[in-house]
């Protein structure tokens, strides 16, 4: 007897033809049979992958290292150096006083030929430009247009002066603008420092308004840093724009300017530093950095080393796997490796 | 059947002038099917039980009854404030939508967490994110859900409006006797309503009259319980005859009925007309949702309306269970919370220490600036002392690191389960052709439990078997007739009824024994022949079957379709028809049987419910012979029924008749008095014979059980059947095998139970000892263990369950390979499930089809209902419903396995994904003086788990398959992965978390070290971190994907692309500090080198581990994957083959 025939006819009766069949329509999607690729980590793939990474990474590492090696960098920490002997015990008083002479002249030697442009950076350490109180204390609206001058919601505690008038640019970031200055001379001949285009073009064009002029800036009870020329619009105040791109880490560099000429090996550069900025109250360090650049940026051996390490590790792993595969070969897809075939009892 | 045919039918009957009325025989044989010896199986219909439960357990007290005045809705019990007939499936109205929907949504704990964090963030001291960024994700989720709910509700509103606006003919209360159209929603309890053929019934109503002179109405209940059989409902003669005066309002008619309840198989009421009380039962009520069929019209009175109708009361939502995996997941969520709190405490304490060390510097350091000089008087700016600062930082840290607890996981899990359910429903291997039913997912949150089942508790009838009864053989007066041969549809041996120029034949053909056929047709009045004729007359007459005449393509041929509620009865009537006793008409008052061409009409005088206690008086040798045959039948797995008869004298009949009338109209204790009447007449019975009915095994059951067993799932069968039947079914479905040692426990006292259990334990421990010794000596080659089977009956279980003997039973039952419980009551089924559930961690699954399985289905971790012959109660109570037992194999082994592995991976991945991100932020926080600045923009951190990385895990959770369906079915043992919880456990969680920490270190420190001496700003570095982590976690996922189809590709690579686009977009907004940063940093080589380095360094440990374990410590899944790819079994779209092995090789009969 056909199992389907008679037994089912009971329900195939009068009611059946009217009922729509609910049989799911076949499609590869609904039956979960879409064509698919099933990658497996076969020995060949594993060895090739590791070898491939190794082969790619080692040259990159070498290239990066050589690029980094070509960068010439002069770093000079001047925060302690530039304080006269007698004031070493009370650096904060020295820096806060308006009477002290803060000019400080030092000579740096160029270790290797530096091709222009040579970038001049100041580097601050232990300065938390990423502190929550600090990063939030700015008003992008105010910076952009004169119409939004009063938008100072986030700028506390540098939103208004004590008499309530609006500070432009408001906020702690602008208030704390770095104000040390550097000038350079070789053999008593002053080297031109190009301070144009040190900020991002995008910032100058869209973020800082050309009709926004500083107002009531640095008039409060506590002076945080540089004063701004009230007749220059913010979009031209490149030092401010650079400063307001807050750094990611507590030690950071910011572009001060560029020396367009080459500096020859062993040349003596006389640097005149106006040491105005107070980092002494929180033990912050100040460095002056002169550096050339390469495609990788500044001097940075880490990336090259990392690439070499990873690359050689991968090559090593590749070798290791080859040896392991040779020592303990296994046929892929051999049913005798299934647990119940290895253990014929088949109970768990 | 159309009306015209019906008249023709009546006309044709006319030639039989004065059909012989034999009240004596009828009254008797009406009880004869019921009259059976103790060897009879209990009746099949669950309805009978449901009825008894619903009706006779409680008698109707006036206090909790509803009193309905027929035709007078105004007087109908004003204190009840009855609802109108308007149904309201819609949840919300225009006004209540927002508050109610929000309330519904916030019942999810996850949303409350979301909200709490968002509220915390609104405090000015704690504002970590901007208002928008913190509220947006919550608002988005709420909005999407609200729109979805609103749309669904709108559809419900629409369908409600259509439903409520339908027209029904209502009797004009003014007494004109006219029916006027009313809208459904305006119907009220007490109104008299007329329903025409093929119309839907607007509310639950008690039948008053029908077009049939005897008061029969046929209804189709397919919308109510899924059964396509026509059900017979009756109007009481008392109301039929008084219809004109009732409609005219001249007599007061009132109905006392029970308060609204969900029991669709029970109704308990009485009707008072002209001072006379008539009782009403389930057969007198027609329910909303049914359709009137084969009846020109029916008039009834509304008793339950609107949301009080039984169909509305039964439309409950899906059951809510929590899956095993989710329970485990909550354990790890707690662990994550601990990590979160640790991180937050670490940050806040470090911040406190930092503040303490730098206390004196805070005043002047430009980045802190403790004092606020604006506004004249000096005050602190946003500084409240170290202690407060620490506290605030802690709360802020909770806000910043909130995604450590992957809230989005709960939402994606719901999506994934929805997707999985979609594929299970659409799977054509889970579609049952014969009942036209798809797989149903009624519970949406336990899909993955299907992959971890260790115990299956199965009902027998209707679950293992089809519950489609086929008459096989009979014994008449001790003589066995079982030499039947299969009939062919057009063969000469098929019996036809000739009606005019038409031939009518029964729709289902039954094999006939030629000897018996000859005996029946022999002319001589032999004693044997008389008995045989009485036997078949009893079979044809004593039932509740309704014959329907169905047309065939050949106009001369008609089929007789016997419709009824009990499949046993159907089988018996078909059998009688095959032997020439064709039931051709049934009304409530009489039946017409064509006895070998001679049409006879019988009056039905009374009907006794089936009851298995009757007494008889018979010659011993006949009893012996019958008993021998019965034993032989039941050991073939046949269901047996003994048929007896008794001739009543005029006096006896009169006595019975008056008793019966009294009892059946009794108001109190009707059930009991009817039983008493029955037992008085059902004695001194003469045995006519017995029938053997085969309950066909469902297709593929033996193979399915074998697969389940190989998969390490123990199958227990719990049945109400006799022990012999149960054992023989056990053999035929390969549950029991001949090499098994049976341990049988049949005891009827506690003491003997205890003894049998102890004996059993002794036996089993001996076998276990032998096998373990054998294992040691023969070094585990070849299974030497003798399989054990425990067979226990309900009587013993009465003494065992819920006593201290349970422990012993558990011990012995878990040692045995197979457990078979016979003669168990519904509650005992649940008790057995509880026995396992209470004592082990193992997952249990119960599968059944009848009302008697409901308790077991609800008790088990996973309940499966078979949407088969019996009612829908099992399906209503179940988590999943399907058409056939054999679907359990693809459901568990394939879908269960997939779902388990998908959800398990998804949970781990989500934990990992969010942890990586949190750790990256944490490392950065260490360089910000512990002030919780994030270099990653707040928008990116909000979108990270919602947009950047959400879709791939959902897609992989729905679509990825570690192994193909074919492999999983070929090697059922692969199912063990889920049982052993290999895909999700604490060890994996810890490994994943360690990987997360490593990857976060790589992502954070490579850019940190590379950019340490540069002019990089926070936003640029943040963008680098964002892109690095998004790509890394997507690559991580990509590395774990088993099967790449175009959707997977699209979602993974698409997500990365979306993330890049979003970052670019965010950096194009001038008002954010990071304006244009991404454009600048992407121009530098360092950026790309960092990314490349991060991917390689981040993935090396995982890749190495994966390569090592997959090659040198492969698990079964891995080997099988290799087999799929390299093995030489011919791989092609495997689904068709896999299932056909089930159907072709075994016809699946018990023989």
Give yes or no: residues B490 and B445 share one domain: no
Size of interface A-B (CB pairs under 8 A): 353
CA–CA distance, B464 with B721 (Å, rounded to integer): 13
From the list B369, B1124, B1135, the residue facing A38 with the nearest CB is B1124
pLDDT for residue B24 is more than 70: no
Helices and strands of chain B, counted as H and E runs = 40, 35
Residues B949/B913, Cβ–Cβ less than 8 Å: yes
Q: Of how many residues is chain B composed?
A: 1151
CATH of residue B725's domain is 3.40.50.1000
Give yes or no: residues B543 and B481 share one domain: yes
Q: Of A269, A331, A283, A334, whose CA–CA distance to A42 is shortest?
A: A331
pLDDT band, residue B766 (cuts 50/70/90)? confident
Q: Is B569 annotated as a binding residue?
A: yes
Give yes or no: residues B162 and B128 share one domain: yes
Beta strands B371-372 and B379-380: pairing type? antiparallel
> B-chain residues within 8 Å CB-CB of A200?
1076, 1080
- Interface-testing mutation among B374, B930, B998, with chain A (most A C-beta atoms within 10 A): B374
Residue B82 belongs to some domain of the structure: no
Distance (Å) of CA B980 to CA B100, B713, B891, B973: 43, 12, 18, 11
pTM of the model: 0.81
Q: In what order do the strands lie in the sheet with B216-220?
A: B230-234, B216-220, B291-293
A9 to B507: CB separation less than 8 angstroms, yes or no: yes
Beta strands B465-476 and B453-459: pairing type? unpaired
Please calculate the CA angle B451-B455-B457 and round it to the nearest 5 degrees: 120
Reported as type and span, the H/E element at residue B585 is strand B581-586
B459 as an active site residue: the answer is: yes
Task: Provide DSSP, B868-923.
Answer: SSS-SHHHHH-SEEES-GGGHHIIIIIIIHHHHHHHHHHHHHHHHHHHHHHHHHHH
pLDDT band, residue B50 (cuts 50/70/90)? very low
> What pLDDT, on a 0 to 100 scale, did the predictor assign at position A17?
42
- Residue predicted with more confidence, A70 or B823: A70
Mean pLDDT of B1022-1050: 95
Residue B14 belongs to some domain of the structure: no
- Which structure tokens are listed for B973? 């043992």
Residues B466/B695, Cβ–Cβ less than 8 Å: yes
Q: Of B535, B658, B673, whose CA–CA distance to B606 is shortest?
A: B658
pLDDT tens per residue, range A236-286: 999 999 999 999 999 999 999 999 999 999 999 999 999 999 999 888 999
> What pLDDT, on a 0 to 100 scale, did the predictor assign at position B1011?
93
- Our CA-based measurement puts residue A197 at a distance from the nearest CA of chain B, in whole angstroms, of 14
CA–CA distance, A287 with B89 (Å, rounded to integer): 74
From the list B935, B1085, B1097, the residue facing A295 with the nearest CB is B1085
- Residue predicted with more confidence, B1137 or A195: A195
Give yes or no: residues B747 and B881 share one domain: yes
Mean pLDDT of A127-150: 91
> A-chain residues within 8 Å CB-CB of B925?
none
B1096 to A60: CB separation less than 8 angstroms, yes or no: no
SS3 content of chain B, % helix, strand, coil (to 5): 50, 15, 35
- Our CA-based measurement puts residue B837 at a distance from the nearest CA of chain A, in whole angstroms, of 20
Give yes or no: residues B700 and B729 share one domain: yes
CATH of residue B255's domain is 2.70.150.10
Beta strands in A118-277 (DSSP E): 118-125, 181-186, 189-191, 252-259, 268-274
CA–CA distance, A348 with A339 (Å, rounded to integer): 10
Q: CA B716 from chain center: how many Å?
A: 19
From the list B368, B1019, B1048, the residue facing A133 with the nearest CB is B368
Q: Find which of B109-118, B269-278, B959-968 is predicted with most confidence, using mean pLDDT.
A: B959-968
B365 to A1: CB separation less than 8 angstroms, yes or no: no
Count of domains forming chain B: 5
Non-local CB neighbours of B311 within 8 Å, separated by 6+ positions: B223, B224, B264, B287, B288, B289
3-state secondary structure of B292: strand
CA–CA distance, B618 with B304 (Å, rounded to integer): 51
Residue B271 pairs in a beta bridge with B255, B278
Residue B387 belongs to some domain of the structure: no
Residues B571/B470, Cβ–Cβ less than 8 Å: yes
Residue B885 belongs to some domain of the structure: yes
Q: Of how many residues is chain A composed?
A: 348
Mean pLDDT of B601-608: 80
> B-chain residues within 8 Å CB-CB of A303?
1009-1010, 1086, 1089-1090, 1093
Give yes or no: residues B904 and B866 share one domain: no
> What pLDDT, on a 0 to 100 scale, did the predictor assign at position B828?
84
Non-local CB neighbours of B103 within 8 Å, separated by 6+ positions: none
Report the Cα–Cα distance between both ends of chain B, in Å, rounded: 37
Residue B831 belongs to some domain of the structure: yes
Give yes or no: residues B714 and B635 share one domain: no
> A-chain residues within 8 Å CB-CB of B1106?
41
Distance (Å) of CA B663 to CA B254, B667, B681: 21, 9, 13
> What pLDDT, on a 0 to 100 scale, did the predictor assign at position B222?
66
From the list B1085, B1115, B1135, the residue facing A296 with the nearest CB is B1085
Mean pLDDT of B381-401: 89
- At which residue do the structure tokens 């409006």 appear? B161
Question: Which residue from A minimizes the CA distance to B1117?
Answer: A338
3-state secondary structure of B589: coil
> What pLDDT, on a 0 to 100 scale, did the predictor assign at position B146?
84
- Which structure tokens are listed for B1019? 């936003």
CA–CA distance, A163 with B274 (Å, rounded to integer): 99
CA–CA distance, B915 with B921 (Å, rounded to integer): 10
> A-chain residues within 8 Å CB-CB of B1122?
40, 332-334
A206 to B366: CB separation less than 8 angstroms, yes or no: no
Q: Is B853 annotated as a binding residue?
A: yes
pLDDT band, residue A96 (cuts 50/70/90)? confident
- Which structure tokens are listed for B179? 């029916």
- Interface-testing mutation among B229, B365, B935, with chain A (most A C-beta atoms within 10 A): B365
> A-chain residues within 8 Å CB-CB of B1049?
none
pLDDT band, residue B773 (cuts 50/70/90)? low
CA–CA distance, B546 with B216 (Å, rounded to integer): 11
Q: Is B793 annotated as a binding residue?
A: no
CA–CA distance, B898 with B386 (Å, rounded to integer): 53
3-state secondary structure of B822: strand
A282 to B374: CB separation less than 8 angstroms, yes or no: no
Give yes or no: residues B881 and B1030 share one domain: no
pLDDT tens per residue, range B207-257: 888 887 778 888 877 666 555 567 778 888 778 887 777 777 777 788 888
> What pLDDT, on a 0 to 100 scale, did the predictor assign at position A232?
93
Give yes or no: residues B913 and B828 share one domain: no
Q: Other CB atoms closer than 10 Å to residue B37's CB: what's the count? A: 23
SS3 content of chain A, % helix, strand, coil (to 5): 35, 20, 50
Q: CA B845 from chain center: how many Å?
A: 11
Largest CA distance in chain A: 116
CA–CA distance, B542 with B974 (Å, rounded to integer): 52
- Our CA-based measurement puts residue B669 at a distance from the nearest CA of chain A, in whole angstroms, of 38
3-state secondary structure of B211: coil
CA–CA distance, B575 with B580 (Å, rounded to integer): 9
Non-local CB neighbours of B566 within 8 Å, separated by 6+ positions: B43, B44, B45, B543, B544
B358 to A282: CB separation less than 8 angstroms, yes or no: yes
pLDDT band, residue A75 (cuts 50/70/90)? very high
Residue B1115 pairs in a beta bridge with none
Mean pLDDT of A287-294: 94
> A-chain residues within 8 Å CB-CB of B1107?
41, 46, 321
Q: Is B823 annotated as a binding residue?
A: yes
Residue B574 belongs to some domain of the structure: yes
pLDDT for residue B1140 is more than 50: no
Please identify which of the residues B153, B427, B449, B459 carries the catalytic annotation. Answer: B459
Q: Other CB atoms closer than 10 Å to residue B848's CB: what's the count? A: 35
Q: In what order do the strands lie in the sheet with B546-551?
A: B497-499, B502-506, B557-563, B546-551
- Our CA-based measurement puts residue A188 at a distance from the nearest CA of chain B, in whole angstroms, of 30
> What pLDDT, on a 0 to 100 scale, did the predictor assign at position B670?
66
Residues B3/B211, Cβ–Cβ less than 8 Å: no
Give yes or no: residues B191 and B97 share one domain: no
Please calculate the CA angle B216-B219-B220 and round it to the nearest 5 degrees: 155
3-state secondary structure of B1028: helix
> What pLDDT, on a 0 to 100 scale, did the predictor assign at position A270?
94
Q: CA B782 from chain center: how many Å?
A: 40
Q: Of B267, B283, B309, B288, whose CA–CA distance to B199 is shortest?
A: B288
pLDDT tens per residue, range B661-675: 787 766 566 667 877
Structural domain that includes position B476: 472-646+684-692
The crossing angle, in degrees rounded to 10, of helices B826-839 and B805-815 is 80
Mean pLDDT of B1088-1115: 94
Residues B934/B941, Cβ–Cβ less than 8 Å: yes
**At which of B315, B339, B360 does a domain end?**
B315
- Our CA-based measurement puts residue B632 at a distance from the nearest CA of chain A, in whole angstroms, of 23
Averaged confidence pLDDT in chain B: 80
pLDDT tens per residue, range B899-955: 999 999 999 999 999 999 999 999 999 999 999 999 999 889 888 988 899 999 999
Non-local CB neighbours of B736 within 8 Å, separated by 6+ positions: B727, B730, B742, B789, B818, B820
pLDDT tens per residue, range B180-206: 888 888 888 888 888 988 888 888 888
From the list B548, B959, B1045, the residue facing A35 with the nearest CB is B1045
pLDDT for residue B289 is more than 60: yes
> B-chain residues within 8 Å CB-CB of A305?
none
> What pLDDT, on a 0 to 100 scale, did the predictor assign at position B665?
67
- Interface-testing mutation among B290, B366, B439, B885, with chain A (most A C-beta atoms within 10 A): B366
Q: CA B1118 from chain center: how many Å?
A: 33
pLDDT band, residue B770 (cuts 50/70/90)? low
Q: Find which of A239-248, B265-274, B438-447 is predicted with most confidence, using mean pLDDT.
A: A239-248
Least confident of A64-78, B262-276, B1014-1028: B262-276
Least confident of A209-223, A325-339, B764-778: B764-778
Report the Cα–Cα distance between both ends of chain A, in Å, rounded: 41
From the list B927, B979, B1123, the residue facing A250 with the nearest CB is B927
CA–CA distance, B184 with B681 (Å, rounded to integer): 47
pLDDT tens per residue, range B588-600: 678 888 888 788 8
CA–CA distance, A254 with A277 (Å, rounded to integer): 14
B1084 to A297: CB separation less than 8 angstroms, yes or no: yes
A157 to B381: CB separation less than 8 angstroms, yes or no: yes
A3 to B375: CB separation less than 8 angstroms, yes or no: no
Residue B80 belongs to some domain of the structure: no
> A-chain residues within 8 Å CB-CB of B935?
130, 248
- At which residue do the structure tokens 């919300």 appear? B92
Residue B1107 belongs to some domain of the structure: yes
B1123 to A335: CB separation less than 8 angstroms, yes or no: yes
Reported as type and span, the H/E element at residue B745 is strand B741-745
pLDDT for residue A9 is more than 60: no
Give yes or no: residues B236 and B281 share one domain: yes
CA–CA distance, B830 with B856 (Å, rounded to integer): 4
Q: Is B719 annotated as a binding residue?
A: yes
Question: Which residue from A minimizes the CA distance to B895?
Answer: A32
- Which structure tokens are listed for B915? 């942890």
CA–CA distance, B44 with B247 (Å, rounded to integer): 40
> What pLDDT, on a 0 to 100 scale, did the predictor assign at position B33?
33
CA–CA distance, B675 with B1005 (Å, rounded to integer): 86
- At which residue do the structure tokens 């004169």 appear? A146
Give yes or no: residues B750 and B874 share one domain: yes
pLDDT band, residue B77 (cuts 50/70/90)? low
Question: Which residue from A minimizes the CA distance to B221?
Answer: A15
Percent of chain B with pLDDT over 90: 27
- Residue predicted with more confidence, B740 or B485: B740
């Amino acid at each position: 007897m056909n199992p389907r025939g008679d037994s089912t006819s009971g329900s195939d009766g009068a009611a059946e033809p009217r009922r729509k069949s609910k049989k799911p329509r076949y499609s590869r999607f609904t039956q979960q049979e879409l064509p698919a690729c099933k990658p497996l980590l076969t020995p060949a793939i594993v060895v090739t992958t590791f070898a491939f990474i190794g082969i790619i990474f080692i040259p990159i590492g070498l290239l990066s290292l050589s690029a980094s090696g070509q960068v010439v960098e002069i770093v000079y920490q001047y925060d302690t150096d530039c304080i006269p002997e007698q004031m070493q015990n009370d650096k904060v008083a020295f820096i806060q006083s308006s009477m002290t002479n803060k000019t400080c002249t030092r000579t740096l030697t160029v270790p290797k030929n530096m091709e222009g442009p040579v970038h001049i950076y100041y580097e601050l350490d232990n300065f938390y430009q990423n502190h929550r109180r600090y990063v939030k204390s700015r008003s992008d609206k105010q910076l952009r247009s004169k119409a939004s001058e009063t938008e100072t919601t986030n700028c506390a505690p540098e939103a208004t002066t004590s008499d309530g008038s609006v500070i432009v640019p408001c906020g702690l970031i602008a208030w704390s603008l770095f104000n040390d200055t550097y000038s350079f001379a070789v053999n008593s001949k002053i080297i031109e420092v190009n301070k144009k285009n040190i900020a991002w073009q995008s910032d100058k064009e869209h973020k800082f308004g050309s009709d926004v002029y500083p107002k009531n800036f640095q008039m409060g009870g506590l002076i945080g840093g540089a004063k701004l020329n009230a007749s220059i619009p913010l979009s031209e105040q490149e030092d401010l724009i650079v400063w307001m791109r807050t750094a990611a880490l507590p030690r950071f560099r910011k572009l001060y300017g560029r020396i367009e000429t080459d500096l020859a090996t062993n040349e003596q550069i006389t640097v005149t530093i106006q040491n105005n900025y107070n980092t002494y109250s929180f033990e912050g360090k100040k460095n002056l950095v002169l550096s050339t650049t390469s495609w990788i940026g500044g001097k940075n051996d880490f990336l090259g080393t990392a690439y070499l390490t990873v690359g050689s590790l991968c090559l090593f792993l590749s070798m290791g796997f080859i040896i392991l595969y040779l020592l303990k070969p296994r046929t892929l897809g051999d049913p005798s490796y299934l647990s119940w075939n290895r253990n014929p009892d088949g109970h768990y | 059947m159309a009306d015209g045919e019906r008249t023709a039918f009546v006309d044709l009957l006319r030639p039989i002038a004065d059909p012989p009325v034999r009240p004596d025989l009828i009254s008797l044989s009406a009880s004869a099917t019921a009259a059976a010896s103790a060897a009879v199986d209990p009746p099949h219909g669950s309805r009978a039980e449901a009825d008894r439960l619903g009706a006779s357990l409680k008698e109707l007290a006036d206090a909790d009854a509803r009193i309905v005045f027929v035709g007078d809705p105004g007087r109908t019990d004003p204190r009840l404030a009855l609802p109108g007939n308007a149904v309201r499936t819609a949840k919300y109205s225009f006004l209540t939508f927002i508050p109610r929907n929000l309330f519904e949504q916030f019942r999810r704990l996850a949303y409350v967490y979301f909200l709490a964090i968002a509220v915390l963030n609104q405090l000015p001291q704690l504002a970590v994110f901007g208002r928008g960024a913190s509220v947006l994700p919550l608002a988005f989720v709420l909005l999407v859900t609200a729109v979805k709910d609103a749309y669904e509700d709108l559809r419900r509103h629409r369908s409600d409006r259509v439903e409520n606006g339908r027209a029904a003919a209502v009797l004009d209360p003014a007494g004109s006797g006219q029916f006027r159209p009313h809208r459904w929603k305006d119907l009220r309890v007490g109104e008299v309503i007329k329903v025409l053929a093929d119309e839907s019934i607007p509310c639950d109503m008690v039948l008053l009259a029908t077009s049939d002179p005897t008061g029969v109405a046929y209804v189709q209940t397919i919308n109510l319980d899924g059964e396509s059989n026509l059900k017979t409902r009756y109007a009481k003669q008392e109301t039929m005859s008084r219809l004109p005066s009732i409609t005219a309002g001249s007599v007061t008619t009132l109905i006392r009925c029970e308060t609204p309840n969900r029991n669709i198989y029970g109704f308990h009421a009485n009707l008072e007309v002209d001072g006379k009380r008539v009782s009403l039962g389930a057969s007198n009520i027609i329910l909303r949702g049914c359709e009137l069929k084969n009846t020109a019209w029916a008039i009834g009175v509304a008793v339950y309306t609107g949301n009080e109708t039984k169909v509305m009361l039964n439309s409950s939502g899906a059951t809510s269970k929590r899956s095993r995996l989710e329970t485990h997941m909550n354990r790890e969520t707690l662990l994550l919370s601990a990590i979160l709190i640790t991180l937050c405490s670490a940050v806040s304490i470090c911040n406190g220490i930092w503040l303490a060390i730098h206390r004196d510097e805070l005043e002047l350091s430009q980045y802190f600036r403790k004092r606020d000089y604006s506004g004249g008087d000096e005050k602190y700016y946003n500084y409240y002392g170290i202690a407060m600062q620490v506290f605030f930082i802690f709360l802020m840290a909770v806000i910043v690191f909130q995604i450590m607890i992957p809230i989005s996981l709960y939402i994606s899990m719901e999506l994934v389960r929805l997707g999985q359910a979609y594929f299970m429903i659409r799977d054509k291997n889970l579609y049952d052709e014969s009942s036209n039913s798809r797989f149903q997912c009624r519970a949406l949150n336990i899909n993955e439990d299907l992959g971890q089942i260790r115990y299956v508790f199965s009902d027998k009838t209707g679950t293992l078997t089809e519950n489609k009864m086929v008459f096989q053989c009979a014994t008449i007066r001790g003589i066995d007739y079982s030499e039947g041969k299969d009939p062919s549809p057009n063969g000469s041996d098929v019996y036809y009824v000739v009606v005019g120029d038409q031939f009518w034949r029964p729709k289902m053909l039954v094999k006939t024994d030629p000897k018996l056929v000859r005996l029946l047709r022999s002319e001589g009045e032999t004693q044997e022949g008389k008995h045989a004729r009485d036997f078949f007359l009893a079979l044809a007459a004593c039932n509740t079957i309704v014959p329907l005449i169905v047309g065939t393509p050949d106009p001369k041929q008609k089929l007789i379709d016997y419709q009824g509620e009990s499949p046993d009865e159907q089988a018996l009537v078909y059998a009688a028809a095959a032997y020439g006793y064709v039931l051709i008409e049934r009304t409530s008052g009489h039946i017409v049987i064509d006895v070998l061409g001679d049409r006879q009409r019988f009056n039905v005088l009374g009907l006794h419910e089936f009851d298995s206690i009757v007494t008889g008086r018979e010659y011993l040798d006949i009893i012996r012979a019958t008993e021998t045959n019965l034993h032989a039948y039941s050991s073939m797995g046949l269901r047996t029924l003994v048929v007896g008869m008794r001739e009543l004298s005029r006096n006896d009949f009169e006595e019975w008749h008056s008793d019966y009338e009294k009892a059946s109209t009794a108001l109190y204790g009707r059930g009991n008095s009817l039983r008493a009447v029955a037992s008085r007449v059902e004695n001194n019975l003469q045995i006519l014979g017995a029938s053997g009915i085969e309950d066909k095994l469902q297709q593929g059951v033996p193979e399915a059980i074998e697969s389940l067993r190989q998969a390490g799932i123990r199958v227990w069968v719990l049945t109400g059947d006799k022990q012999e039947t149960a054992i023989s079914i056990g053999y035929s479905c390969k549950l029991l095998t001949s090499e098994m040692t049976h341990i049988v426990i049949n005891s009827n006292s506690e003491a003997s139970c205890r003894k049998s259990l102890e004996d059993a334990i002794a036996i089993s421990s001996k076998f276990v000892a032998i096998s373990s010794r054998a294992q040691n000596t023969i070094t585990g080659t070849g299974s030497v263990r003798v399989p054990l089977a425990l067979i226990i009956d309900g009587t013993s279980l009465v003494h065992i369950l819920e006593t201290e003997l349970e422990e012993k039973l558990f011990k012995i039952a878990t040692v045995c390979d197979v457990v078979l419980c016979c003669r168990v009551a519904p509650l005992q089924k649940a008790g057995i499930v509880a026995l396992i559930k209470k004592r082990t961690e193992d997952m249990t699954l119960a599968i059944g089809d009848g009302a008697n399985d409901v308790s077991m289905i609800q008790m088990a971790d996973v309940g499966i209902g078979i949407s088969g012959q019996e009612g829908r109660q099992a399906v209503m109570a179940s988590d999943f419903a399907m058409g056939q037992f054999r679907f359990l194999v693809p459901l568990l082994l394939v879908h269960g396995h997939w779902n388990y592995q998908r959800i398990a991976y998804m949970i781990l991945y989500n934990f990992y994904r969010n942890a990586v991100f949190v750790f990256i932020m944490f490392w950065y926080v260490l360089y910000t003086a512990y002030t919780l600045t994030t270099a990653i923009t707040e928008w990116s951190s909000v979108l990270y788990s919602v947009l950047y990385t959400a879709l791939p895990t959902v897609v992989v959770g729905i679509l990825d398959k570690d192994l193909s369906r074919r492999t999983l079915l070929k090697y059922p043992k692969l199912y063990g992965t889920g049982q052993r919880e290999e895909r999700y456990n604490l060890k994996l969680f810890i490994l994943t978390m360690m990987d997360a920490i490593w990857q976060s270190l790589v992502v954070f420190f490579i850019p940190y070290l590379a950019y340490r001496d540069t002019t990089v700003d926070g936003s640029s570095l943040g963008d680098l971190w964002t892109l690095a982590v998004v790509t890394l976690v997507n690559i991580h996922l990509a590395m774990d994907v088993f099967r790449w189809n175009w959707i997977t590709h699209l979602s993974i690579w698409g997500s990365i692309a979306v993330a890049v686009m979003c970052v670019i977009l965010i950096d194009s907004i001038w008002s954010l500090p990071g304006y244009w940063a991404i454009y600048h940093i992407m121009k530098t080589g360092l950026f790309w080198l960092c990314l490349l380095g991060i991917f390689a360094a981040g993935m090396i440990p995982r890749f190495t581990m994966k390569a090592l374990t997959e090659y040198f410590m492969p698990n079964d899944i891995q080997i099988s994957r290799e087999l799929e790819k390299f093995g030489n079994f011919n791989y092609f779209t495997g689904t068709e083959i896999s299932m056909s092995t089930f159907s072709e090789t075994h016809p699946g009969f018990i023989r």
